[in-house]
Amino acid sequence: MIKHVPVLLVAIPLLAAFMIPMIGMVNRTARTVVGVIALVMILAASYYIAGDILVHGRILYYMVGSSNPEMLTEHGLTFPIRIGLKIDPFSLFFIIMTTTLVLIFYVFSTQYIEENERKNYFTVLFITMVAGMMGLLVANDLFTFFVFLEILSISSAALVAFRTERKHPPYAGYKYMFVSAVATSFFLLGVAFLYAQYGSFNIDYLKEAIRGTLLDKIAIVLLIIPLAMKSGVVPMHMWIPDTYSEAPAPISAMVKLGSLICLYGLFRISFSFGMSHAHVSYPLGVLFIVFGILSMFVGVTQALVQKDVKRLMAFHAVSQVGYMLLGMGVGLTVVKSGDASFALFGKVAMIGGLLHVVNNALYKGLLFLTSGVMVRHFKTRNLDAMHGLAHYDVFTTVVFMIAALAISGIPPFNGFVSKIIIYESVFQYNPVLTLIAIFVSILTLASFMKVFYSAFLGMPSSRRPMEQPVLVKCSMFVLAVFIVVIGIYPQGILKAIIEPAVNALINF
Amino acid sequence: MSAIVLYVTFILLLTIGIIALLFKRNLIKIVLAFNILDSGINLFFIALGYRENAMAPIFTPAPLDSVITMVLPTPQALILTNIVIGFATTALMLGVSVLTYRNNNTLDTRKLRGVEEYD
């Protein structure tokens, strides 16, 4: 049973997505339940394989359509032309994160999105998006990776434009689709450059075969820049504010999760293809650091001046990606340097970067969900028009505070843990980078003070208080609990998941 | 000779596509520019997969005792997939362009710039 998990992770949501419109025509409750069942099944599957992979260090390979799906050995390709799937600790880390979070976001959206005839389309696209994410995470060849990248892009663009009757969402959806389409086209060009030289799409094979010539470098850049564009790294972040602010709140959180999964692709490809040669890995690491610093600084300074609560949070999403790139970039610069610096701080920086991925997904998701509640309550996204939510919605106030303190790196919450790991390790590489990172963290706190002050404090508004539906509250509560637990007891997740993930990324 | 023609066509299509993407302001024209770019990349991939005097990768008609070259079918499969994906992308982009026009009465990106209202 366990050997079929890689393909089931993709097949279950895909099958559910095709079943949902038919079930939805008959019964709307059944449709919602089918979505939940599919998401719970992939959640259970991902936890089911976790022990085997993390403890015993087993790597799952799967060749789709073959009578013996595990016929590919670790040492070579016995069957070059197949769709190859693979789960190692690094992808398992992202799979567990994704399956957990999509279930929470789905539960949130069941009561947050108003029930009408378009909810069927919403559910279909949501589950398709999950299928795209899972496909990206288990893909082991660039062909499959590309196809699922497109599935993810198309379904999320359609969801961003979901509120078509309003003025701006269709244009935001257009922008996101356009950016994704151009990015994936150039990604395909990069795949073509690698295929032309080595005649294969398999990532494991290409990792062995790659020679680090000029053409290889061009191909790596063509693979990396589109993925950086889809993760919203600064010179390519122009689509982020419109997309995140116009999408419904759970979709903002989902698109954010999708961009983190593109970040997974970015790390996977740069560590697979860049690590075999020091003259490739060092410039790549420096590129990551430059992107990271730019993202942190530009994102947070843009966020400070926003008056629109969802645009503000969108710019913070840009700025947070910078921390992950900084941590992974420092790891990548020293990984091939040959001296003790990697053991000293490079690996720790990578651990911090990866921990920040999961922390960021948690609190950023929670912030997007609370912003959805705020916008629904005040009927506006303008911070100047919001005041006094704390008077009658204590629950939202508390979870917003938890998320805002976590994103600013205040001690008992999870953001502090990953940020302190990044600060300490990056300090040994270059103290200036740490100073910039701390400065950005202070600016983040300042801008969330602004949101808290204007939306939650002040005179209570004359608007009738609105009780939040129970599932909306539940999903936000679960996210807040995760944030606090990781903040208080980070050793568990660090030892169990993140260290094996980093080891797999370096040695696999 | 024929391969060179294909590669030159690819570079031409790519250049036309990028220039149109950079300088066109109409949403529909941007979709067309993306399609040109995409077909250029499709052409490049198909040209890469071509082998001189090779057979289709179907095992039955291949003589057993001869050394023959076969075409690897993966690029064709990938490009077929990419054509379908390009179709889906184009359809979605045209659909949201129609909705954008209905809500804003313009297709000009300069007039669509920015979101000032906070509804």
pLDDT tens for A245-268 read: 889 999 999 999 999 999 999 999
What pLDDT sits at residue A346?
84
Q: What is the predicted pLDDT for the residue at A442?
A: 92
The count of domains in chain A is 1
Q: Domain span at residue A480?
A: 2-507
Question: What average pLDDT does range A204-215 have in this prediction?
Answer: 85
pLDDT at residue B49 tops 70: yes
Q: How far is B65 from chain A (nearest CA, A)?
A: 23
Q: Is the pLDDT of residue A201 over 80?
A: yes
Query: A84 - beta bridge partners?
Result: A63
Cα A249–chain centre separation: 16
> Which string of DSSP letters, residue by residue, matches A59-118?
-EEEEET-SSTT--BTTB-S--SSEEEEE-HHHHHHHHHHHHHHHHHHHHHHHHS--STT
Facing residue for B48 by CB, picked from A158, A195, A307: A195
Question: Nearest-CA distance from B57 to chain A in Å?
Answer: 12
Answer yes or no: do B41 and A188 touch at CB < 8 A.
yes
Task: Tell how many helices (H) and how many strands (E) occur in chain B.
Answer: 3, 0
Q: Is B33 on the interface with A (CB under 8 A)?
A: no
Per-residue confidence (pLDDT) for residue A505, from 0 to 100: 85
The whole-angstrom distance between A430's CA and the closest CA on chain B is 38
For chain A, the first-to-last Cα distance in angstroms comes to 24
Q: Does B21 touch chain A (CB under 8 A)?
A: yes
Please report which confidence band the pLDDT of residue A166 belongs to, taking 50, 70 and 90 as the band edges: confident
DSSP-derived letter for residue B26 is B
Which residues of B are less than 8 Å from A177 in CB distance? 89, 92-93, 96
Q: List A residues 270-289 in contact with B (Cβ-Cβ < 8 A).
A: none
- A486: which 2 tokens? 């990781």
Q: Per the domain annotation, does B11 fall within a domain?
A: yes
Of these ranges, A7-21, A65-79, A332-346, the one predicted with the greatest mean pLDDT is A7-21
| Residue A168 banded pLDDT, cuts 50, 70, 90 | confident
Q: Which domain holds residue B7?
A: 2-52+68-104
Mean pLDDT of chain A: 88
Cβ-nearest to B93 among A164, A177, A185: A177
Residue/partner pairs of A286-290 with CB below 8 Å, 24 or more apart: A286/A329, A286/A333, A287/A224, A287/A329, A288/A325, A288/A326, A288/A328, A288/A329, A288/A332, A289/A325, A289/A326, A289/A329, A289/A330, A289/A333, A289/A433
Q: Among A156-160, A192-196, B114-118, whose mean pLDDT is lowest?
A: B114-118
Average pLDDT score over residue span A227-250: 90
Say whether residue A382 is in contact with chain B using an 8 A CB cutoff.
Answer: yes
Query: A254 is written with which tokens?
Result: 């989902």
In this structure, what token pair is assigned to residue A127?
């589950």
* Model pLDDT, residue A209: 84
**pLDDT confidence tier of residue A59, bands split at 50, 70 and 90:** confident
Q: Could you give the angle at the alpha carbon of A69 between the alpha carbons of A66 and A75, nearest 5°?
A: 115
The larger pLDDT score, comparing residue A451 to residue B119, is at A451
Distance from CA of B58 to the nearest CA of A (A): 14
Any CB–CB contact under 8 A between A201 and chain B?
yes
Q: What is the pLDDT of residues A421-462, one digit of tens each?
A: 999 999 988 899 999 999 999 999 999 998 888 888 888 876
| R_g over Cα of chain B | 21
Least confident of A77-86, A110-119, A162-171, B74-83: A77-86
| Residues of B in Cβ contact (< 8 Å) with A178 | 30, 34, 93
Q: In angstroms, rounded to a whole number, what is the distance separating the alpha carbons of residues A135 and A145?
A: 7
What is the percent of chain A with per-residue pLDDT over 70, rounded to a whole number? 95
Give the Cα separation of A187 and A163 in Å (integer).
30
Q: Which of A412, A411, A407, A252 is nearest to A319 (CA)?
A: A407
Q: What is the pLDDT of residue A366?
A: 93
B48 touches chain A (CB under 8 A): yes
Nearest residue to A399 (alpha-carbon basis) of A461, A478, A499: A478
Q: What is the pLDDT of residue A463?
A: 67
Domain count, chain B: 1
What pLDDT is attached to residue A100? 93
Residues 68-97 of B with CB under 8 A from A: 72-75, 77-78, 81-82, 85, 88-89, 92-93, 96-97
Q: Which helix (H) or strand (E) holds A310?
A: helix A309-334
Model confidence at A69: pLDDT above 70: no
Q: Is residue B15 part of a domain?
A: yes
Q: Using the predicted structure, report yes or no on whether residue A6 has a pLDDT greater than 90.
A: no
Q: If pLDDT is split at 50, 70 and 90, which confidence band does A324 have?
A: very high
Contact A192 B34 (CB under 8 A): no
Chain A nearest C-alpha distance from B118 (Å): 5
Query: Cα separations (Å) of B24 from A117, A190, B30, B103?
Result: 37, 25, 6, 21
CB contact under 8 A, A174 and B74: no
Residues A271-323 pLDDT 10s: 888 887 778 888 888 999 999 999 999 999 989 888 888 889 999 999 999 99
Q: Does A64 touch chain B (CB under 8 A)?
A: no
* A150/B89 touch (CB, cutoff 8 Å), yes or no: yes
ipTM of the complex: 0.92
Name the residue with higher pLDDT: A57 or B27.
B27
List the 50-69 stretch of B: residues with Cβ below 8 A of A. Answer: none
**CATH code (residue B72):** 1.10.287
- The identity of residue A305, as a single letter, is V
> Do B97 and A174 count as a contact with CB atoms less than 8 A apart?
yes
Mean pLDDT (whole number) for A138-143: 90
Residue A30, both tokens: 């059944």
- Provide the pLDDT for residue B14: 93
Mean pLDDT computed over A188-205: 88
pLDDT of residue A126: 94
Contact A316, A409 (CB under 8 A): no
The pLDDT score that the predictor gives to residue A181 is: 93
- 241-260 of A, contacting B, C-beta below 8 A: 242, 245-246
By CA distance, what is A184's nearest residue in B? B38
Window from A67-76, A97-106, A184-193, A296-305 with minimum mean pLDDT:
A67-76
pLDDT given at position A242: 87
What's the gap in Å between the CA of B66 and the closest CA on chain A? 22
Q: Is A505 helix (H, G, I), strand (E, B) or coil?
A: helix
Residue B26 lies in a domain: yes
pLDDT at B61: 59
The pLDDT score that the predictor gives to residue B95 is 93
- For residues A39 and A108, give the distance between their C-alpha atoms in angstroms, rounded to a whole number: 13
Task: For residue B108, list its beta bridge partners.
Answer: B26
Query: Is the dihedral angle over the CA atoms A257, A314, A271, A358 positive or is it negative?
Result: negative
Determine the distance in angstroms separating the CA of A438 from the nearest CA of chain B, rounded to an integer: 31
Q: How confident is the model at residue A238 (pLDDT cuts 50, 70, 90)?
A: confident
How many helices (DSSP H) and strands (DSSP E) are in chain A? 20, 2
* Of A26-40, A51-65, A323-337, the least confident: A51-65
Identify the bridge partners of residue A365 per DSSP, sorted by sequence position: none
pLDDT higher for B65 or A352? A352
Does the structure show a pLDDT above 80 at B69? no
How many whole angstroms separate alpha carbon A379 and alpha carbon B73? 55
Q: What is the pLDDT of residue A481?
A: 93
Q: Do B103 and A380 touch (CB under 8 A)?
A: no
A199: left (phi over 0), alpha (psi -120 to 50) or beta: left
> Closest Cα to residue A243, out of A262, A256, A233?
A256
Q: How many residues does chain B have?
A: 119
Residue owning tokens 């706190």: A445
DSSP string of B40-59? Answer: HHHHHHHHHH--TTPBPS-S
Domain for residue B73, yes or no? yes
The predicted pLDDT at position A389 comes to 82
Q: Which residues pair with A62 in a beta bridge?
A: A85
Q: Is the pLDDT of residue B59 over 70?
A: no
Spell out a b/e string for A344-372, using b for 16 or more CB atoms within 10 Å of the CB, else e: ebbbbbbbbbbbbbbbbbbbbbbbbbbbb
